[in-house]
């Protein structure tokens, strides 16, 4: 089975073709094209929804063409591509951006007569772990498992007994982990998105210079909160500004911030893994591209649990993960009944 998937929930415009791998435990990546308007947002320090959507309208058809061609098929006004199904992110996300993908795919489903699978972007992130690429051969992922989604918009912990039996355990009460990286980055005058830059600076930062708060770390609930961390950094930056002559110890602050965020994520995820006695832990979302976080998880694991992380390029938003989620959670919906839902969460 071959799926053409589209993702336009935030600032990326992406199309990918995935195909079921032999034993149906993974999907094989045939193509994954991502056009980003990130450089436009770096200037403004964050995403401006209308600029993102206008850019996506411009990119959507060329990106679909390129993804199909790379996967060995194509389309024109007289023939449709050789695929079995279409998939699209229908939420959560920015309404203007979601509409670009959803309306394009509804039209293609109608004119090509292909089934359409609407996908929750958050499940998409988790299913990046089920993609087999040349760089990352597939490895069986044993259930039950705990999945941690850490992206710019979300921090969620889920208990998955199977592909269809899923319990949401908790999420962020305020800022998401990626959002905390980005907002703290702005306080430190780093361009958007700040996560990868904070990771770079933290590599040479002194781990003992700052100990920022680890919000809700020992709380019984599986919820997260990162806005207090941002306030603690703001206070520190203001103090340093008032002490004239002091330059900002950027690397040390970055190290302190990254340690605080990763300690909370690792501690709570491992606590859930122990409580539910799972075989696997799956990381996903843009923040899961952070190598220090990956290493911390690996070091903290017990011998009965295996850690799975997507290839780094598949942690941030992409259509391949949407194709993978569509394959495993295959729920075809008539094109008339698919609509964008910016507030979508877990049912």
Which residues between 10 and 29 bind ligand KG4 (CB under 6 A)? 10
Position among 289, 314, 320, 340 found at the interface with ligand KG4 (CB under 6 A): 289
Nearest Cα residue to 223 out of 254, 185, 183, 177: 177
289 binds, among Zn ion, ligand KG4, none (CB under 5 to 8 A by kind): ligand KG4
Q: Are 32 and 319 in contact (CB under 8 A)?
A: yes
Angle between helices 291-300 and 195-202 (to 10 degrees): 70
What does residue 172 show for φ and ψ, rounded to 5 degrees?
Answer: -80, 145
Listed ranges 203-211, 213-221, 229-237, 280-288: which one lies at the site for ligand KG4 (CB under 6 A): 280-288
Number of chain residues interacting with ligand KG4 (CB under 6 A): 19
To ligand KG4, the closest distance from the beta carbon of 26 in angstroms equals: 21
Which residues between 46 and 85 bind ligand KG4 (CB under 6 A)? none
Distance CA 7, CA 36 (A): 11
Nearer to ligand KG4, 108 or 131 (CB): 131
Listed ranges 60-68, 102-110, 177-185, 244-252: which one lies at the site for ligand KG4 (CB under 6 A): 177-185
Position among 96, 215, 285, 323 found at the interface with ligand KG4 (CB under 6 A): 285
Helices (H), 128-249: 177-187, 195-202, 227-242
DSSP strand pairing (131-132 vs 145-150): unpaired
Residue 199 engages ligand KG4 in binding (rule: CB under 6 A): yes
Helix (H, G, I), strand (E, B) or coil at 317: coil
Distance CA 177, CA 64 (A): 31
Which residues between 146 and 165 bind Zn ion (CB under 5 A)? 151
What does the binding site for Zn ion look like in residue numbers (CB under 5 A)? 151, 317
């Amino acid at each position: 089975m071959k799926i053409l998937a589209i993702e336009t929930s935030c600032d990326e415009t992406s199309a990918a073709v995935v195909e079921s791998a032999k034993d149906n435990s993974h999907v094989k990546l045939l193509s994954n094209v991502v056009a980003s308007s990130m450089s436009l947002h770096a200037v403004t320090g964050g995403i401006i929804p209308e600029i993102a959507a206008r850019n996506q309208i411009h990119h959507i058809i060329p990106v679909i063409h390129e993804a199909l061609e790379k996967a060995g098929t194509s389309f024109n006004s007289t023939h449709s591509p050789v695929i079995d199904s279409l998939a699209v992110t229908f939420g959560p996300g920015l309404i203007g951006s979601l509409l670009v993908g959803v309306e394009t795919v509804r039209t293609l489903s109608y004119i090509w007569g292909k089934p359409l699978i609407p996908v929750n972007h958050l499940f998409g992130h988790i299913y990046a772990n089920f993609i087999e690429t040349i760089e990352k051969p597939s490895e069986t992922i044993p259930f039950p498992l705990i999945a941690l989604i850490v992206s710019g918009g979300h921090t969620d912990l889920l208990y998955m007994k199977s592909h269809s039996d899923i319990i949401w355990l908790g999420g962020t009460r305020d800022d998401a982990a990626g959002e905390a990286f980005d907002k703290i980055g702005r306080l430190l005058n780093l361009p958007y998105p700040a996560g990868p830059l904070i990771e770079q600076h933290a590599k040479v930062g002194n781990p003992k210079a700052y100990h920022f708060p680890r919000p809700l770390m020992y709380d019984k609930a599986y919820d997260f909160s990162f806005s207090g961390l941002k306030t603690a950094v703001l206070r520190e930056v203001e103090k340093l500004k008032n002490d004239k002559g002091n330059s900002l110890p950027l690397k040390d602050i970055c190290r302190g911030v990254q340690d605080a965020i990763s300690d909370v994520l690792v501690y709570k995820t491992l606590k859930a893994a122990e409580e539910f006695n799972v075989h696997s832990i799956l990381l996903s979302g843009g923040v899961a591209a952070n190598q220090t976080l990956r290493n911390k998880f690996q070091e903290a694991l017990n011998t009965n649990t295996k850690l799975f992380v997507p290839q780094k390029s598949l942690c941030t938003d992409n259509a391949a993960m949407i194709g993978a989620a569509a394959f495993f959670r295959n729920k075809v919906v008539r094109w008339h009944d698919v609509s964008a839902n910016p507030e979508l969460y877990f049912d």
